[in-house]
Structure 1
Amino acid sequence: MARLAKAAFDGKDLRPKWRELIGKLLDGTASAGEGLDLGLIAQLLGDKPAGLAIQHDVLRSHQLFGTRCHVPEPRLKLLALAAETDLGSNTPIEFLLEESAVELTTLYLLPGVELPDPLPDHDLAIVIASDSEDCRAALRTIEAVATRWPRPLLNPPKLIGNLDRDKLHRLLQDIDGLAIPATFAVGRERLLQASPSADAFDGIAPGLAFPVIIRPRGSHAGVGLAKVDDGRAMVRYLAERPEAEFFVSRFVDYSGEDGQFRKYRVAFIEGRPYAGHMAIADRWDIWYLNAHMSASASKRLEEETFMRTFDIGFGRRHRSALDALAQRIGLEYFTIDCAETRDGALLIFEADNTAVVHNMDPPDVFPYKGPQMRRIFDAFVAMLARRVRERGEEAA
């Protein structure tokens, strides 16, 4: 996944590889791994239905996949427990293991298919399935045997389930110095009923009023995300969306004095926060690519400062809130996307275990990012090794 994603990120044409693998699939010489690659390429080329269909066919007969290790003699063996879903709904763990001495095996858990007995050889396991609807069956399968898992099991399913948008605010809402708008799951018909009246949202949640942020339930990567300012805009939005249920929350204007919006990604490893990236744009709905960071030296300088001074700057300003958030979420690895409100609170947009933390940006444009990503990757691998060592000491 990491290799193909990097190629797409760099603008390389994946269609020749697609044609090569299609030919092997048609003549019966494609391996299961090449079939899975084919499904990933289809998604990266924008044909998600075809990619998922190919993946579905491959996983019907093969659920276990190995990723080539960077070194000939791995330091440890990691088993990743994945769900049959799109490429954005499992933790992109290959990025975190870049150039490491960790041997990765991925096991896809399918509805109605039991876990292999015996399990693949591994030193520890990590759940990489997300809290999305199409991962729920996989999470239930793991949860049913989690207490009997023979090795350390990181990111347990019961904690991943707390990351759903309408649960997260209840988990974090009373933390001092932290702001997280309440998120409500609302059906299409209820939203249409609320649209004509400015105060009709009171029937959904006290205090909820236009403008609101809305997105389809289960969506990610900004799909269907919109700011809706009034009832007429809500009617137009719903007319363009086929989904039956949506997440709705109040809009928070987190722009700075210069009118720019700043959005941060922070990675947590065993409770410790690390700067992931910083995006700056004149629009509220930021993600890194639409901020055009590569085109602005001043934006990159601000991101570099954020990264270099994180422990004495952003991290120190919000230390209490970040510590409390990490303790309540409880996962060994997760990320948050966040901002700062005008009164200095830490504004949480989302927390999940599947956001991309990568080292794909060109080093000639982003020379500061490689060292920071290396710190995150090294901390992640050190955490894995420590968990294996602690398990060995307990057994002794």
Structure 2
Amino acid sequence: MSTSTKAITNFDLFSTKRPYCTQEHDMFRTTLRKFMEKEVSPFLHEWEENGHTPRELFRKMGEQGFLCPQVEPAYGGLGLDFGFNLVLAEELNRIGGGSNGAGTHSSIIVPYLESYGTEEQKKKYLPKCVNGEILSAVAMTEPGTGSDLANISTTAVRDGDYYLINGQKTFITNGINADLFFVVVKTDPKAIPARKGVSIIMVDGDTPGFSRGRKLKKLGQHSQDTCELIFEDARVPVANLLGVEGGGFYILMNKLQQERIIVANNAYALAVEMLKSTISYVKERQAFGKPICSFQNTQFEIAEMATELSLARSFLNDLAIQHMEGEEITTQASMAKWWVTDMARRMSSRCLQLHGGYGYMEEYDIARRYRDVAVMPIYAGTNEIMKNIIAKNLGL
């Protein structure tokens, strides 16, 4: 066999090998994949139809040790590195659906508490976040405010040892299932600049004056519970303030690097599954007496998408290592977030087209993934905001 033939044979576009992964990471992936195939895959269609993922799933995930793998043993966790969060993200998005809420909880929201919570707050909440007794949500977006977080209108007014919170939030991931909400509020509406008046307060789901509004109907991600939140003189102890008053914007910005790396990995994992299923389909589907994969157009489309996927994987591997080493890579994380999510969105259309009429049918996963990927360039900071950040950091 020639060298070139060996190179082709050994190329694995869909390999789960990562430079930061050890045998322990691989074991975690294998165990989690088996869990997902047993506990999620058989029921996903039903959950999509119902528009809801059962709360019990997250308790099971906690019992099996899949939630918040990074939390220190002192608070009930395993103290594992960020690589485990990336494995979690990939495996959740490999199947998709509302189970992705576990990744948001584990890798995006709980780290706020780990980094900025008091010892009392950590002891109270972290063990339950790890074992699945608590599922978390972050409440930033409002009906009139999206990317411009400094100008939110939800207020928290000090009343002795409590805050009285008033306002509304919308598009809240995990909103129905969550037990603990990290609510972004204005504690000083007159602050200049406005961002210095932003704080984060943790609100328990059974707080008087707090209620869940409508469960929102979405274009995609149907089994991911998303809803409105309503605060009407919700009375929350001052002890539930995360960090310091006026420090909320800083907390959010400081964790966005990790969030955007996670979201980019989510998009990558979804893109892998789209391309994998498309390659399988074009090999089996016949047209004009031969497989669709034999047509040059199909081959070129697949070749282009495979190249983009490989480039994304290399970039994400590099960013993961830099992030784990504590490097400041805000610009690169912003690049990854916009480019990989945009790539995945483009790929969804290309893969659906290669499925032909069957791609439009709900019995094929590409239809669901086509819908689900559409929001990725929007949340965690729109891709337009990502480009603004990149341009600013380039001195423009």
The structure in which a higher percent of residues are strand is 1
TM-score range, shorter chain: under 0.3
TM-score for the superposition, normalised by structure 1: 0.25
TM-score between the two structures when normalised by the length of structure 2: 0.25
Higher helix share: 2
